[in-house]
Amino acid sequence: MSFSCFVKLFAAAIAASLVGFFAVKAIGTGGLPAESLFATGITIGTLFGGLLVILYPAAEGGSKDASGTSSVYVGNLPFNAGESDVKNLFAPYGKVIEVRLVKDRRSRRPKGYGFVEMDSTEARSAIKHLNGTDYAGRTLRINEGKKKGEE
């Protein structure tokens, strides 16, 4: 379990304990000490948060997530290539789940690269067959996408 999961779990525990603490005060069963209510809330929140983390794991921005998909980097694309063009380029190698083309924040113009999300085995096949091929007069650079911060 990663550090971010522990942070989410701790936040869920604190939120549940605070909600429980104020709910009991509002109902009027103030006979229990506040420390006991807070500790009970932390326990319940930890259990509830743990269930949420287990049932709904977050894809933590990697090249491969829990469902067996991979992110494929697609570089040196023509600037006029759209998402449908890239999807059609990768379609012969498997089902394309998502295409994300990167654009400049200010001008909103394409930067000439993007990412394609597809099944891991199909992604490897697409990388093998498409890397170094010519597409609209440009030599494509295709490889496995990396996590943010990796080099």
User: Does pLDDT of 85 surpass 70?
Assistant: yes
The side-by-side arrangement of strands in the sheet containing 96-103 is 96-103, 110-119, 69-75, 141-144
The secondary structure of 43-111 as a DSSP string is HHHHHHHHHHHHHSPPP-SSSB-TTSEEEEEEES--TT--HHHHHHHHGGGS-EEEEEEEE-TTT--EE
Q: 58 in the Ramachandran plot: left (φ > 0), alpha (ψ -120 to 50) or beta?
A: beta
pTM: 0.54
pLDDT at position 61 is 42
User: Does pLDDT of 24 surpass 50?
Assistant: yes
Least confident of 14-18, 27-31, 86-90, 102-106: 27-31
